[in-house]
Amino acid sequence: MKKVYILLLFAFSLSNVFGQITLNFRDNGLLPGDSSRTHEITNVAPGNPGENQVWDFSAIHYTGKTTFSGVKEDPALKAAGAGEKSLVLSEDGYDFTYISGENGYEETGYVNTAKMMTMGYTDPIVKMKYPLAYGQQFSDPFTGVAFYNGKSRIDLSGTYTVKADGYGTLVLPDRLIKNTLRIKVDKQSLQIGVCGSTQSHLEKYYWFAPGYRYPVLMVSTTENRYGAKEPVVVTSAWVNLGQQAAGAFAAGTDPNIQAGTGENSVVVYPNPFTEQVTYNYLLRKQVPVSVELYDMSGKFNLRVEKRQMQSEGLHTGTIRAASLGLTPGVYYLRFTLDKQVIVDKIVKI
């Protein structure tokens, strides 16, 4: 039995290692001709960093506001090196200019015609380096000059830091997306103009998923402090699930499961757990469901949910260790979703 237990742990650890994704130019680089529409949601907490996270955004609310974005080549700009392209990303009234290549991309400036604003970076911001996997990070200093109405000048300098700080499962109202990689962006900057100075701190989180070229979710908080005044905080968040599927990620197959397509899916968290464990299962159609909990010996067996018909969509449940008298050890949750059986190993500590 001990040998079997060791083999199970080894297999579990391998699944964690190979379940991670790596961002790369082929599958995640800016692609001329791409366009998408993001849907704004009420701001949510980004959750925790780390391995095997479950970011539960099943209760998000859409505001009804959408933003269009598109990528195109700009032949008027000259790329910095062989194999690189000059691109323009149009988004929410801004035209951002980028130099993009196999090793990543950098922002060289932007224009907002409606606000009569232009920005040119004397030292561009490196916004992405490829490949990028969990645990990796980079920082890049930048400087630039902005003009309002073609006259008012603002000098800008700061540091842009990117870190792949977590991976795991993303839970949305209509789908579970496994093997997502979270990217944290931290931008610290100082703006100096004729009217004074502004300290700015931008913190953004992006979730990348297999089968999607661009982030599927973004959460942002910006704090601006004008001189000695109290800081002004602005938050925003959006979902982008309508984009066309990209090529295969470095991790391989596409594990995205949503209502109405593919197989049913299950996620259990936190794991390991101390006091309670939560489980979510997503059904692609109405089917009979039962949930059982048992230990490695098979002696402890509890029917958590009796077999009954469940509707299409996302369902959730909680198991409390104290009420069931669970002692530290390894347990298994067995989900029978119609004819499909899914078994998840959980560890009580």
Mean pLDDT of 193-211: 94
The predicted-structure confidence for 273-322, as pLDDT tens digits, reads as follows 999 999 999 998 899 999 999 988 777 788 899 999 999 988 989 999 99
Sketch the domain layout of the chain as residue ranges. 18-239, 259-348
pLDDT computed for residue 227 by the predictor: 83
CATH annotation of 259-348? 2.60.40.1930
Backbone angles phi, psi at 322, to 5 degrees: -65, -45
pLDDT computed for residue 79 by the predictor: 59
Could you give the CA distance from residue 187 to residue 189 in angstroms, rounded to a whole number? 6
* pLDDT for residue 19 is more than 80: no
pLDDT computed for residue 41 by the predictor: 97
Nearest to 109 by CA among 145, 78, 84: 145
The predicted-structure confidence for 149-162, as pLDDT tens digits, reads as follows 877 899 999 999 99
State the residue for tokens 């596409």: 254
Question: Which three-class secondary structure string do you get for 151-177?
Answer: CEEEEEEEEEEEEEEEEEEEEECCEEE
Predicted confidence band of residue 82 (pLDDT cuts 50, 70, 90): low
* pLDDT for residue 252 is more than 50: no
pLDDT computed for residue 298 by the predictor: 72
CA atoms within 13 A on the CB side of 308: 5
Structure-token pair, residue 156: 């800008």
The predicted-structure confidence for 90-124, as pLDDT tens digits, reads as follows 999 999 999 999 999 999 999 999 999 999 999 99
Question: Which three-class secondary structure string do you get for 210-262?
Answer: CCECCCCEEEEEEEEEECCCCCEEEEEEEECCCCCECCCECCECCCCEECCCC
Q: Of 137-146, 198-207, 225-234, where does mean pLDDT reach its minimum?
A: 225-234
**Mean of the per-residue pLDDT values for the chain?**
86
* pLDDT for residue 165 is more than 70: yes
The predicted-structure confidence for 21-58, as pLDDT tens digits, reads as follows 899 999 999 999 999 899 999 989 999 999 989 999 98
* pLDDT for residue 84 is more than 90: no
pLDDT computed for residue 244 by the predictor: 56
Residues in a beta bridge with 81:
none
